[in-house]
Amino acid sequence: MIIDINFIGLIIASIMASAVPLILASCGELITERSGVLNLGVEGMMIIGAISGFALMTVTGSLIIAVFGAMLAGVLISTIFAFLTQTLITNHVATGLALTIFGIGISAMIGKNFVGIPGKEFPVLFEGLKDTIPLLGPILFGHSIVFYFAFSLPFITSYFLKKTKIGLIVRAVGDSPESASNQGINVRLVRYACILYGGAMSGLAGAYLSMIYTPQWIENMTGGRGWIALALVVFSTWNPIKILIGAMIFGGLTIIQFHMQAIGVRIPVQFLTALPYIVTIIVLVVISRDSRKIRLSTPSSLGKSFHKDN
Amino acid sequence: MNTNLKISNVTKIYPGCVANDNVSLEFNSGKIYALLGENGAGKSTLVKILSGVIIPDEGKIYLNENNLKLNSPSDAKKNDIGMVFQHFNLFETLSVFENLIIDSDEQRESLREKIDTIMKKYNFSIDLDIPVLNLSAGQKQKVEIIRCLIRSPKVLIMDEPTSVLTEQETSELFLSLKKFSEEGILIIYITHKLKEVMQLCDEVAVMRRGKLVSVSEIKNENIESLANKMVGQNLKTIKKKKTKTSSDQLIKIMNLNFTSEDPFETNLMDINFSVNRGECLGIAGISGNGQSELFQVLSGEIISEKNSIEFNNNYIGDLNPQERREYLMAFSPEDRLEQAAIPQMKIFENVALNNFKSSNFFNNGLINENKIKEHSKKIISDFNVNTDNIELKSQFLSGGNLQKLIIGRELITSPNLLICFNPTWGLDVGAINYIHETLIKINEQNKSIILISTDTDELLKLSDKISVIHKGKLSKIMNAEEVTPEKLGILMGGAN
């Protein structure tokens, strides 16, 4: 049997495409968590991004307004979270869960009018170069700008955290907000910024789903990807490069199990559907076993409220 | 250039407590100033005001006649006031260099050069590229000092800097501080240790209950006069009567090992010792050398091999703390509010946590509240806990009162062995005296103590025998009379 080498390229490209929302949301949440804030509202922020992007696209007709609008929607809903947890010092876990429930509810409400409306085609870059290189062509070329952004994000995030002053400040705040505050760093400001950035990335991840990946609005269309993104952050031990690996494994297994189901492999469907979740977590646990490194990269103050007393 | 720092009529009031009551002080460079006081005397509040962490309700700060507005720590830094906090303000998971560059505006290379120059000048040697959590306490403090020196401060404030240091590290620190002072940096040294004030400082200001009690030159003072000013009453010094110890062995530890899965805990290696009845064995060491692991192994929080601990002719290595208590062992852990008591629970409820089969605190699964309350009242009166409200949540007790309650709870069943870990950590002189007296009394009743402590003076005062723990290994056991603080210091640093 001859397998078309470009077909393999296409499968890899589709795996990468399914990894995009996970990478975006995880890298955003990673920055939030590195500053010591645990935001469990990723799923909620994603779904808000998804409906906002789709609705703005339908209403205004502008893809640019839609994409940035979705990010802004993510920022706005995460502002609620930031205000509650940083200004009113509420519990991170409870507030994050409430955010997810809120997001799913309100998106369903807004989305009622958009069910069944077809999406728009999103422009892709380097379409013409797709056939120039075998195998690599379909992998590298012919994707949306969001796709390219997502795959550069882990590297940008890693550089930002390790090499820049602001990245250092974010890590410092996550390590010890008390010390940071005594050093004259405005802990609350840093955490607000990190939460809002996480919201923007989740919003973008949602918009990718409803505008590019499956261009339509379906209620609850994020389908738990926000939770997977959260798990990726933890199991990657807050390492953006490992997030990339984890997202690819998860995306890959999701796609492959679809194909396996289609071919009719004699394995129970439920097991196949569960496979990506199990394997991703096992792989990430195995590659992140060094407990010394875990200690060094885990934000020590994660999920703890910081209240500056005077 | 001369530096003059003036604190003028500073007042800071917290609900229910006046932390600083109209305090005025003046400092000039070229001298080392001590700010002396017990815990809660208000000295930490005062220096936090100087470093911008706390904003005073009233009063002004002048540096060289300029009125300073210190609304945040960065204001203090801008005005050349450097502060080394008692609890280090370092980021444990960041490297030393990252810790230093975070509040500096300089380029990486020029900062590195600057740090190297400082380290050479003062003989510091620290690897800049390892995470701070791998440093010893003394090294961490040096990082804090370097952080201040980078900004060439006019004023350097040290808040209880020796609480985590060995004798050697302390004398190194004193040499550095004297050097800084000669170079014109004004040094304010906060402590409650009188010996250090006499050794290091030129002038001393004493605070008590938020008020400034006296300002004087060291040459006009001695340890007793300062102690009396600090406490506000004449203190009797307590001393242990050296009795001849029995040879009746109570507990024996044989070839005890503990390997932790957490790489940041210390492994215990081949621990062997025994304690006779009526004896106090002191275990010295710099914190983090395996003391808390040793305490947990002895108390049964960590279970070991059955035969590794023999107590009163029973092998009890595999028993949990509750079961060990039934054999009349008692434990007083280091962290009073995290390990020894539950802060949100009432006094009598905390007492009930330590229940024995014989104490009848529970009937058929129901709480026998009257019995517990009666028992609690007895502890409070027997052990001088300064409250008559057993319904009070234990978090509202002062450290001293809480420690008395805990020791009382442990001792009221008259155990044969008390194992305590830093029992006077962070307490004021009065409470320390009381706890020490109590421990001496236990020995006089022919009962034994294992005292794990980082306070060398305390160990020398109370122990009959002393051993030093370093990196999870015990030194040989010495008779307390043969031991000097210097010798302990050397052993604590890891030498033989």
Assign A119 a pLDDT band (cuts: 50, 70, 90). confident
Three-class secondary structure of residue B260 per DSSP: coil
Distance (Å, rounded) from C-alpha B33 to C-alpha B45? Answer: 17
Residue B392 confidence (pLDDT)? 84
Chain B residues within an 8 Å CB radius of A184: 52, 72-74, 77, 103
Q: Which among A165, A179, A184 has the least Cβ separation from residue B72?
A: A184
Three-class secondary structure of residue B266 per DSSP: coil
Say how many CB pairs under 8 Å bridge A and B. Answer: 65
Interface of B with A in 316-335 (CB under 8 A): none
Q: Residues 6 or more apart from B19 whose CB is under 8 A from it? A: B12, B13, B42, B45, B210
Query: What are the distances in angstroms from CA B153 to CA B6, B31, B67, B105?
Result: 16, 15, 17, 16
Tell me which chain A residue has its CA closest to the CA of residue B54.
A310
Chain B residues within an 8 Å CB radius of A185: 102-103
pLDDT score of B442 more than 70:
yes
Which segments of B193-345 are extended strands (E)? 203-208, 211-217, 249-258, 268-276, 280-284, 309-311, 314-315, 329-332
Cross-chain Cβ contact A300/B92 below 8 Å: yes
Asked, for residue A262, whether it belongs to a domain, the answer is yes
Mean pLDDT rounded to a whole number for chain B: 87
Tell me: the pLDDT tens digits for B467-486? 999 989 999 999 988 888 88
Tell me: the pLDDT tens digits for B200-209? 999 999 998 8
Distance (Å, rounded) from C-alpha B130 to C-alpha B45? Answer: 33
ipTM above 0.85, yes or no: no
Three-class secondary structure of residue B339 per DSSP: helix
**Neighbour count for residue B118 (Cβ, 10 Å):** 16
Asked, for residue A244, whether it belongs to a domain, the answer is yes
Higher pLDDT, residue A22 or B241: A22
Asked, for residue A109, whether it belongs to a domain, the answer is yes
Residue A49 confidence (pLDDT)? 97
pLDDT score of B235 more than 80:
no
Assign A232 a pLDDT band (cuts: 50, 70, 90). very high
Cross-chain Cβ contact A179/B88 below 8 Å: yes
Asked, for residue A292, whether it belongs to a domain, the answer is yes
Tell me: the pLDDT tens digits for B411-438? 888 899 999 999 988 777 778 888 999 9
Assign A110 a pLDDT band (cuts: 50, 70, 90). very high
pLDDT score of B245 more than 80:
no
Q: Residues 6 or more apart from A109 whose CB is under 8 A from it? A: none
State in Å, rounded, how far the first CA of chain A is from the last one: 75
C-beta separation of A108 from A219 below 8 A: yes
Mean pLDDT lowest among A200-204, A264-268, B161-165, B242-246: B242-246
* Pairing mode of beta strands B211-217, B203-208: antiparallel
Cross-chain Cβ contact B74/A184 below 8 Å: yes
The continuous run of DSSP H or E covering B30 comes out as none
Tell me: the pLDDT tens digits for B1-15? 688 999 999 999 887
Assign B385 a pLDDT band (cuts: 50, 70, 90). confident
Q: How far is A165 from chain B (nearest CA, A)?
A: 7
Residue B274 confidence (pLDDT)? 93
Considering its fold, how many domains does chain A have in total?
A: 1
Residue B421 confidence (pLDDT)? 92
Give me the percent of chain B exceeding a pLDDT of 70. Answer: 97
Q: Residues 6 or more apart from B275 whose CB is under 8 A from it? A: B249, B250, B251, B281, B417, B448, B449, B450, B465
pLDDT score of B330 more than 70:
yes
Mean pLDDT for the stretch of residues B240-252: 77
C-beta separation of B49 from B72 below 8 A: no
Assign B134 a pLDDT band (cuts: 50, 70, 90). confident
Residue B234 confidence (pLDDT)? 63
pLDDT score of B231 more than 80:
no
Residue A254 confidence (pLDDT)? 86
Domains of chain B: 4-231 (3.40.50.300), 249-492 (3.40.50.300)
Mean pLDDT for the stretch of residues B316-336: 89
Distance (Å, rounded) from C-alpha B211 to C-alpha A287? Answer: 58
Cross-chain Cβ contact B89/A291 below 8 Å: no
Residue B355 confidence (pLDDT)? 73
Residue B242 confidence (pLDDT)? 66
Burial of A278: CB neighbours in 10 Å, binned 0-12, 13-18, 19+: exposed
Tell me which chain B residue has its CA closest to the CA of residue A290.
B263
Listed residue (B150, B152, B151, B128) closest to B139, CA to CA: B128
pLDDT score of B309 more than 60:
yes
Which chain A residues have any C-beta within 8 angstroms of a chain B C-beta? 165, 168-169, 171-172, 175-176, 178-185, 291-292, 295-298, 300, 310
Q: How far is CA B119 from the centre of its chain?
A: 28
Q: Which amino acid is at B217?
A: E
Tell me: the pLDDT tens digits for A238-285? 999 999 999 999 989 888 888 888 888 888 888 888 888 888 888 878
Tell me: the pLDDT tens digits for A38-54? 999 999 999 999 999 99
User: If you search the block for the tokens 């009453």, which residue do you land on?
Assistant: B233
Asked, for residue A273, whether it belongs to a domain, the answer is yes
Asked, for residue A123, whether it belongs to a domain, the answer is yes
Residue B180 confidence (pLDDT)? 93
Assign A172 a pLDDT band (cuts: 50, 70, 90). very high
pLDDT score of B122 more than 70:
yes
The continuous run of DSSP H or E covering B168 comes out as helix B167-182
C-beta separation of B406 from B336 below 8 A: yes
Lookup: tokens for B114: 């600057």
Query: What are the distances in angstroms from CA B106 to CA B86, B103, B113, B121?
Result: 27, 9, 11, 20
Q: What is the DSSP string of chain A?
A: -PPPHHHHHHHHHHHHHHHHHHHHHHHHHHHHHHTT---TTHHHHHHHHHHHHHHHHHHH--HHHHHHHHHHHHHHHHHHHHIIIIIS---HHHHHHHHHHHHHHHHHHHHGGGTT----PPP-BSGGGTTTSTTHHHHHSSB-HHHHHHHHHHHHHHHHHHHSHHHHHHHHHHH-HHHHHHTT--HHHHHHHHHHHHHHHHHHHHHHIIIIIS-S--TTTTTTHHHHHHHHHHHTTS-HHHHHHHHHHHHHHHHHHHHHHHHT-SS-HHHHHHHHHHHHHHHHHHHT--HHHHHHHS-TTTT-------
Range of the domain at A182: 5-297
Distance (Å, rounded) from C-alpha B455 to C-alpha B438? Answer: 17
Q: How far is B65 from chain A (nearest CA, A)?
A: 24
CATH of the domain at A44: 1.10.3470
Residue A182 confidence (pLDDT)? 83
**Neighbour count for residue A62 (Cβ, 10 Å):** 13
Mean pLDDT for the stretch of residues A94-111: 96
Assign B496 a pLDDT band (cuts: 50, 70, 90). low
Range from A3-12, A210-219, B279-288 that averages highest in pLDDT: A210-219
Tell me: the pLDDT tens digits for A295-304? 788 888 898 8
Distance (Å, rounded) from C-alpha B145 to C-alpha B141? Answer: 6
Mean pLDDT rounded to a whole number for chain A: 91
Cross-chain Cβ contact A168/B101 below 8 Å: yes
Q: How far is CA B145 from the centre of its chain?
A: 20
Listed residue (B270, B188, B211, B187) closest to B38, CA to CA: B211
Assign A310 a pLDDT band (cuts: 50, 70, 90). very low
Prediction pTM value: 0.75
Distance (Å, rounded) from C-alpha B154 to C-alpha A58? Answer: 64
Asked, for residue A56, whether it belongs to a domain, the answer is yes
pLDDT score of A1 more than 60:
no
Residue B238 confidence (pLDDT)? 67
Dihedral sign of CA atoms A114, A116, A117, A123 in order: positive
Asked, for residue A304, whether it belongs to a domain, the answer is no
Distance (Å, rounded) from C-alpha B373 to C-alpha B365? Answer: 17
State in Å, rounded, how far the first CA of chain B is from the last one: 46
Residue A34 confidence (pLDDT)? 96
pLDDT score of B20 more than 60:
yes
The continuous run of DSSP H or E covering B356 comes out as none
